[in-house]
Amino acid sequence: MKKIMLFAVFSALLCGCGGGDYISEADCQALCDKNLECDPDTNVTECVAECEEAKQLIRGAVFDAMTDCVLDLPCNSEQGEACLEAAMAKAPSGASDGLIRTMCQKQIDCAGGTGEMTVSACVAAAKEQAGEYLEYLNAFKATVLSCLSSCVSKLSCTDLESDDFMTPCMEQCGIPTDEDTNNPPP
């Protein structure tokens, strides 16, 4: 259950959250009290702070759906994945298309604009490669996706070649990374 609680807070934050681009009214204290009930080692103060931070980044509809579902689960439940799937269904498909197009355009520009790869072919390939993780990316608010897109467009070609080229953009857009939180992904 702890893993599911943390995943509710960090799912969109660590990807590497229709519409619902509002700040969730979810009760972080209740969510963290539930986490404490299921895991006595929970630091409730940190949990609430992380939850409040996540509410600023994740679409309200996604966050609300995940929180409502998790709060209804018993501690030993194996239904956390079902909660996650139901919550991700609240994210608008295609919400991250602009970011993906920006990344593809940047890659093509860095390659000198030559070759047979078009932006639309690159977008299709990137979406296929992302698979279910695309839903997590779609869970971010439009403002977060716009920030990421803007940052990616300003990366140098050398930066873009790095395996972790998104880390500086995530940090710039307020998305905690493993380096920020010292928490491994759930």
- For residue 154, give its domain range: 97-175
pLDDT in tens, 15-53: 333 345 677 878 899 999 999 999 999 999 999 999 999
* Last residue within a domain, chosen from 34, 64, 88: 88
For residue 5, name the pLDDT band (cuts at 50, 70, 90).
very low
pTM (two decimals): 0.79
CB 14 within 8 Å of CB 178? yes
Co-location of 82 and 104 in the same domain: no
What is the DSSP code (8-state) at residue 73? S
Q: 3-class DSSP state for residue 156?
A: coil
pLDDT in tens, 120-161: 999 999 999 988 888 889 999 999 999 999 999 999 999 988
pLDDT in tens, 75-91: 988 888 899 889 999 99
